[in-house]
Amino acid sequence: MAVRLAAIQASVATTWTFVQSSPTSPAMASGIYTAALYSLHALLQADGEPMMGWWRAALLLSDLSRGMLLDTLGATSLAQGELRLAALRDLPEITMLGSLDDIHTFISGATGVGAPRYNAGDIIGCCTVYWATMVALVSAPVFRGFPGYAKAMAPLREIVEQTPPPLPIIGQGIDEFAWQLRHALDIVLAIKG
């Protein structure tokens, strides 16, 4: 069985649309998001295909037993489920990294989506696309070592692997988080091979 990213993203979009268009209580919506993430996680674990970068990232994003820094943008389980689904929806199809140019291309794609979201006032949407790209890059296997790889991954790993604080990020902290993500991406873009 080969699960494709497009199928995962279509499933996420269907779940998202159903919850947003149905008169559901917050508890029911949270339950739907949780069930969708658990099902996706089980599906990804069951598939015997090689673990590509986006696959590993999707597995991580759907693993509700593991807290992530991204989760702190949501104060409730409903908001955290929405964040995880949004990040899955924004996940780039990174299979493997072969050069620093590959990394730069994916980061440029993320900033090309995230910056307009930020400028339109969707700061959390900006964060999800940046976060999804970082997780996919950090998760991607390397075809063979190349100059600049370790230096490029360091600022991304530092953010992705942070232990989440016990309290949610609120108010101005969300804007600061978006800029923390953007600065890490900009650092990587400035690395030359």
pLDDT of residue 49: 64
pLDDT of residue 144: 80
Report the predicted TM-score, pTM, of the whole model to 2 decimal places.
0.91
At 24, the amino acid letter reads T
pLDDT of residue 87: 95
pLDDT of residue 48: 66
pLDDT of residue 50: 63
Q: Are 68 and 151 in contact (CB under 8 A)?
A: no
- Break the chain into its structural domains and give their ranges: 5-189
pLDDT of residue 24: 85
Dihedral of CA atoms 147, 151, 153, 155 in degrees, nearest 10, equals -160
At 3, the amino acid letter reads V
Q: Are 8 and 58 in contact (CB under 8 A)?
A: yes
Q: Are 134 and 159 in contact (CB under 8 A)?
A: yes
The string of pLDDT tens digits covering residues 33-64 is 999 999 999 988 886 666 788 989 999 999 99
pLDDT of residue 2: 67
DSSP code string of 32-91 = HHHHHHHHHHHHHHH--S---HHHHHHHHHT-TTS--GGGGG-SSHHHHHHHHHHHHHT-
How would you write the pLDDT of the chain (193 residues) with one tens digit per residue? 467 888 889 999 999 899 988 888 999 999 999 999 999 999 888 866 667 889 899 999 999 999 999 999 998 999 999 999 999 999 999 989 999 999 999 999 999 999 999 999 999 999 999 999 999 999 998 888 788 899 999 999 999 999 888 888 888 999 999 999 999 999 999 998 6
